[in-house]
Structure 1
Amino acid sequence: MRIGLVEFLLILFIASITVGPQVALFVDRWLRRANRASALAARRKAEAQAQMAIEREALLHRFRAASNVFAALAAVALVYALVFRPIDTPPKTYAAPERAERAEHVRSVDPADALNLSAYEIGTAIRMQDGWLYAAAKLPKVGVLMRMQPDGSGMNEVLDVAGGEITDLAFAPDGTLWMTTIEADGGKLCRVSNDQWGVTVEPVVTQIDGKALSCPAAVAVGADGKVYFTNAAEVSVKYGLESALRTELLAHTATGWVYVYDPVTRAVERVLGGVAGASGLALSADGETLYVSDLGSRCIWAVPSGGRELMAGGKGCAQLAAGLPGYPGALAVEEDGTVSVGYRWARSAWLEDHADGTLLRGAALRLSESMQERLFQMPDDGICAERFGPDGALLASYGGKALGGVLALCPAENRVYLGVAGETKIQWVRI
C-alpha cells in the first residue's frame, strides 16, 4: 500500500503528539543530567585548581624559605671565607710611602724591538756575560736558563729546573754562575759548574738557622767572590714567586732579608732586614754599595756591602730613590754607577689607602690567585722601568702601551733589555 503525502504528514503529526512529549522529556532529563555533570566537573576542576594553587603556593613558600636559608648560609660562608678563614700570612698595618710625581718625559718602548723566545715565557732574570745574553725563562712546570747572542741568534738551553723556577742569576768574577731557585722542596741558592761531564747544579744554601729558605728572589756577586742573596719574605711560594710577592704586598710583613754567603768559609751572615719584599739586588761597580729593591715600601735601599745586621730605614741604610711610581723588582748597576730598576706592578692607590687597616687587605689575601692578579696590573700609560744616577737623580723613564710589568732587566752596551711579564720575547730600548 502506497502512503500519500497527506497520510505521511498525518502519521508524523500523530507520532509527534504521542511520542514527542516523551522525547522532549527524555531530552530534558538528559540535558539536566549533562548540566549537573558539567557543573560537577567544573566544581571538581575548580577544586583541583584551587588545590593546585594551594600546593603551588606551599611549594613556593618552601622554595623561598630554602633560598633564604641558602642565601644566609652563602653569606655566612662568604664572610667566613673573606674575613675569618685562617691565612698563612696575616696582614700588618704600615705607613704608606709618598708618591713622587714624574714630570719627565716617558720614553716609549717599541714592541717591534724584541728578541723572540719561541715557546718560552720570560722569567725574572736577564744577564750579559762574555758577549752572551742569559735569560731565565719558563715552560709549564719547568724553569729554563736560556743563552743567546744579543741579536737573539744562537739560542739554546743551558739547564732546566724541573718543577720549579729560576728567580735570579749572577756571574762571579771567575765566571761561576750563581742562581736562586724555587722548587717543590723549597728555595735554594745554587752554584752552577760546567765541565766535560756537563752542567752541574749544586745547592749551596737551602736553610738558615735551621729554617728553610722560603723565597729567594735575587742574587748578586761581589768582586771578592762573596754571594749576596735575598729571602724576599716569610711567605708561601706554593704558587711561585709572583704570587709570593703579591702576598707580601698585601700583607706587608716586612720579613725580607738580604744575606751574604762566603764560599771560602761557607758562612752565611745577615746584611739587611725589615724589607717588605726584598725582590731585587745589585752591587756597585766598586763592590762597596749594595742596592736592594723594597717592594712594599716602593724604594731602593743603598747599604754598605760590608754592613751586617742592618735594618731597613735604620742606621747605615739610606735610600737611593723613594716614592717610586711602581713596585720595584729587578735591579742592575752599570760601570758609571747608573742604577736601572724594573717595576713589576704600578702603584696601587687602593692598597696604600688601606695601609693602616687590615680588614680589606686580609679579604684580598683570601681571594683566588686569578682574582688577586686583577688587583695588580700595569695601566697602558704606566712606567715600567727607570734609570737613576749614583746620586739618585732620575735619568730616564720607560713605558709603552699595554707593555706590562717588568720582571727582569739588563743594561748592555747601548741597550736596556726588558723581560715583560707574560711575554715570550725580550724587549729592548736604546739608552
Structure 2
Amino acid sequence: MRIGLVEFLMILAIASLTVGPQVALFVDRWMRRANRANARAARRRAEYAAQMAAERDALLKRFRTASTVFGVGILLALVYALVFRPIDTPPQAYTAPEVRQSTGAVQTALSADSRDVLALGDYQGVDCIREQDGFVYAAAYNGATLKKRKSDLVRTDGGSFSAILSVDGELTGFAFDADGDLWLTVLTPGGGALCRARHDSWGAAVEQVVTQIDGAPLGAVSAVEAGPDGKVYFAVAGGEAVDNGLEAALRTELLAHTGTGWVYVYDPADRSVQRVVGGVAGASGLALSPDGRTLYVSDLGNRCVWSMDADARELTAGGKNCQSAFSGLPGYPGALAMEADGTLYISYRWARSGWLEKNADSTLLRGIALRAGQNLQEKLFGLPSDAPCAEAVSTADGSWKRAFTGGSSCTAVCPVGSKVYFGAADSAQVLSARI
C-alpha cells in the first residue's frame, strides 16, 4: 500500500495534534526545572559571595584592629625608647659657650702632596702622634679589626713604618718622659689604664701602673703628658661607659654635658695619684708649657682650653686658679700639642653643632639624641672641609697664628720642624701641613 503525499501530511497533522501538547508540556516542565535549578544556583552563588564578602570584611576589620594595636605598640615602644628609657648618663642643662669672632689667623690647608703623607699600611684611626729622636710615632689600630680591640704603636721615618709594641684595647695616648720611658693610656671595655713601657724593653712588656681611682675602675682615659720633673698627667674624659671606645664616650659627654671629666697626676717616685682638676665636660687633651709649670686641658663641651699651675691640686674647671686660656673655639677641642716656643696647637674633633648648643637647656631633646643610638649621633657632629681642623695660638700673648683646614675629625696633632702632622678618624694615613 502506497501512501501519497496527502495521506502523509494528514498523518503528520494527526500526530502533531496528538503528541505535540505532550511534547510542549514536557519541554515546559523541563524549562521550569532548569530555571528553578539556575535560580537555586544563583542564590547559592549570591549567598556564597555574601558570605565571602562578610568574611573578608571581618578579616579586614581584624587586620585593621591588629595593625592599629601593633602601630600603637610600636609608637609606645618608640616613645619609651627615646624618652623614658633609663640611660647611664642623663643629660644636664648648661649654658652654651659664646662663639668666638674671626681671629685673622693665617689660613693653611693640609697638604695634598703625597710626599707629605705618611702611609701606615693596614693601620687605621690615628689617636695620637708624637715625635722622638727624629722619628714620628703614631697610635693606631689594625684596619682588619672591626673594633679597636688591639692597638699598635707605629714608628715611621716617612719612608717605611714598623710596629713597636701592641696593647689589648684602644691606645688613646702616649708620651715620652725625660728618661725615655713610654707612658700610655689604654682603654678596654673593662675600663682605662695608665701604663708604662721601659725604654729598654719596648714591645716586650707593658706595665699597668694605674687602673683604679679610689677603688673604682678608670673611665675613658683620653690623653697623657709627661712633665720634665718625671710626673705623669693623664685625663679621663668623663664618667661615661667605655664599652664602645673613646669616640663614643666623647660623643656621649658632648650630648650629656655631665662635667665629670678629671685630670690626674701620677708621681713615679712615691707611686701616688692625685687629682689636678675636675668638672671638665670632656677632658680630651693635655699639654704642658715648655718649662713644665703650666698645664693646659682641652674641654669638649665648653669649647675651651683651661690653664692652671701644674703643681695645683683639687681644682674645679672655671673655678679659682683654673681659668679659660682660650675660649669660644670654633669646634670641639681634642688633642693638644706644645712647641718649644710656647705655641699651642689645638685640634678639633668636630665643628661646633648649632643644634646641640641651641638645646643646651633642653635635657629632653638631648636625652632623645642619647637614646637614639650611634648612627643618629654621628649625623649631629662633623667637620666640614672648610671648617678648621686645628689652630695654633701663642700662649705668650694669646695671638692666633694659624688655622688649618682640609681635615676631618682631627684626632691628633704634632708639630715637627716645618710640618704639622695630623691624625684623622678612620684614616690609614698621617696627614700634614707645611708651616
Equivalent in the alignment of 1:315: 320
Counterpart Cα distance in 1 of 2:216 and 2:194: 14
Equivalent in the alignment of 2:353: 348
Equivalent in the alignment of 1:20: 20
- Cα deviation, residue 370, structure 1: 2.1
Whether the aligned pair in 1 keeps the contact of 2:223 and 2:285 (CA below 8 Å) is yes
Equivalent in the alignment of 1:231: 236
Pairing 1:407-426 to 2, within 5 Å after superposition: 407-426=411-430
AA partner of residue 110 (structure 2): V
Is 1:429 matched with 2:398? no
Counterpart Cα distance in 2 of 1:27 and 1:146: 106
Pairing 1:257-268 to 2, within 5 Å after superposition: 257-268=262-273
Q: 1:103 to 1:25 in 2, by over 3 A?
A: farther
Counterpart Cα distance in 2 of 1:418 and 1:240: 20
Q: Aligned match of 1:124 in 98, 123, 127?
A: 127
Q: Aligned match of 2:410 in 400, 406, 410?
A: 406
Pairing 1:10-409 to 2, within 5 Å after superposition: 14-102=14-102, 104=104, 106-112=107-113, 113-139=116-142, 140=145, 141-149=149-157, 151=158, 153-162=159-168, 164-195=169-200, 199-390=204-395, 391-400=397-406, 403-409=407-413
Q: How many residues align?
A: 426
Whether the aligned pair in 2 keeps the contact of 1:122 and 1:426 (CA below 8 Å) is no
Whether the aligned pair in 1 keeps the contact of 2:238 and 2:281 (CA below 8 Å) is yes
Whether the aligned pair in 1 keeps the contact of 2:111 and 2:434 (CA below 8 Å) is no
Whether the aligned pair in 2 keeps the contact of 1:167 and 1:216 (CA below 8 Å) is yes
Whether the aligned pair in 2 keeps the contact of 1:123 and 1:166 (CA below 8 Å) is no
Gap runs ≥5 in structure 2: none
| Deviation digits for residues 152-178 of structure 1 (CA, Å, limit 9, x no counterpart) | x2211111123x100000010111110
- Cα deviation, residue 247, structure 1: 0.8
- Cα deviation, residue 319, structure 1: 2.0
Q: 1:316 to 1:19 in 2, by over 3 A?
A: same
Counterpart Cα distance in 1 of 2:427 and 2:283: 24
Q: 1:132 to 1:7 in 2, by over 3 A?
A: farther
- Cα deviation, residue 286, structure 1: 1.0
Counterpart Cα distance in 2 of 1:174 and 1:197: 13
| Deviation digits for residues 280-331 of structure 1 (CA, Å, limit 9, x no counterpart) | 0011111111111001000011111111111111121222211111110000
Counterpart Cα distance in 2 of 1:191 and 1:12: 130
- Cα deviation, residue 5, structure 1: 7.4
Whether the aligned pair in 1 keeps the contact of 2:193 and 2:211 (CA below 8 Å) is yes
AA partner of residue 225 (structure 2): A
Gap runs ≥5 in structure 1: none
Counterpart Cα distance in 2 of 1:11 and 1:279: 125
Segment drifting more, 124-133 vs 360-369: 360-369
Q: 1:31 to 1:106 in 2, by over 3 A?
A: farther
Whether the aligned pair in 1 keeps the contact of 2:262 and 2:279 (CA below 8 Å) is yes
- Cα deviation, residue 75, structure 1: 1.6
- Cα deviation, residue 354, structure 1: 1.1
Q: 1:40 to 1:227 in 2, by over 3 A?
A: same
Counterpart Cα distance in 1 of 2:151 and 2:231: 25
Counterpart Cα distance in 2 of 1:197 and 1:407: 24
Whether the aligned pair in 2 keeps the contact of 1:178 and 1:190 (CA below 8 Å) is yes
- Cα deviation, residue 273, structure 1: 1.1
Counterpart Cα distance in 2 of 1:389 and 1:31: 112
AA partner of residue 419 (structure 1): G
Whether the aligned pair in 2 keeps the contact of 1:213 and 1:231 (CA below 8 Å) is yes
Whether the aligned pair in 2 keeps the contact of 1:194 and 1:200 (CA below 8 Å) is no
Q: TM-score, normalised by structure 1?
A: 0.94
Whether the aligned pair in 1 keeps the contact of 2:225 and 2:232 (CA below 8 Å) is yes
Counterpart Cα distance in 2 of 1:65 and 1:128: 68
Q: 1:16 to 1:428 in 2, by over 3 A?
A: farther
Q: 1:50 to 1:246 in 2, by over 3 A?
A: same
| Deviation digits for residues 329-378 of structure 1 (CA, Å, limit 9, x no counterpart) | 00000011111111111111111111112111111111222222222122
- Secondary structure class of the residue paired with 2:249: helix
Q: 1:197 to 1:230 in 2, by over 3 A?
A: closer
Counterpart Cα distance in 2 of 1:2 and 1:328: 132
- Cα deviation, residue 9, structure 1: 6.2
Q: TM-score, normalised by structure 2?
A: 0.93
